[in-house]
């Protein structure tokens, strides 16, 4: 199996899903820009992971499967503001969106 990078190790703008190992997004390629969950957790003294930090990325497919296993559904709320994207990222998103719309 191919060795995948950890969540903090982005090479050439690539972000991998820690769960399925698939490439989630490549910031240098405009046509592969997908949203994902990024988690950073610093475990404290009252855990069995004393002062260890964990960091990982989860793609939307794995996220959906993970949520299906929850006994209590997640709370959903409207989001008014999009995250802070750089000018480059906004340009990439607009290009990707335009490409999707043109397919239609």
Six-digit token string for 21: 């190992």
**Interface residues for Zn ion in 12-41 (CB under 5 A)?**
17, 19-20
Q: Computed over its alpha carbons, how large is the radius of gyration of the chain? A: 16
**Shortest Å, Cβ 60 to Zn ion:** 8
Nearer to Zn ion among residue 20 and residue 52 (C-beta): 20
Nearer to Zn ion among residue 68 and residue 80 (C-beta): 68
Nearer to Zn ion among residue 43 and residue 66 (C-beta): 66
What is the contact mask toward Zn ion in residues 42 to 81, using x (rule: CB under 5 A)? Answer: -----------------x--x-------------------
Beta bridge pairs of residue 16: 23
Kindly list the distances between the CA atom of residue 35 and the CA atoms of 19, 59, 82, 85, in Å, as whole numbers in the listed order.
15, 7, 12, 12
Rounded-to-integer distance, Cα 94 and Cα 82, Å: 14
Six-digit token string for 23: 């490439």
**Shortest Å, Cβ 38 to Zn ion:** 13
């Amino acid at each position: 199996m191919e060795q995948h990078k950890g969540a903090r190790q982005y090479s050439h703008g690539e972000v991998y899903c820690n769960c399925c190992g698939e490439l989630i997004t490549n910031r240098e390629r405009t046509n592969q820009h997908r949203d994902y969950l990024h988690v950073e957790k610093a475990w404290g003294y009252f855990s069995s992971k004393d002062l260890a930090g964990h960091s990982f990325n989860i793609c939307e497919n794995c996220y959906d499967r993970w949520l299906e296993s929850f006994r209590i559904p997640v709370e959903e709320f409207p989001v008014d503001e999009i995250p802070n994207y750089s000018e480059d990222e906004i340009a990439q998103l607009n290009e990707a969106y335009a490409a999707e719309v043109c397919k239609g």
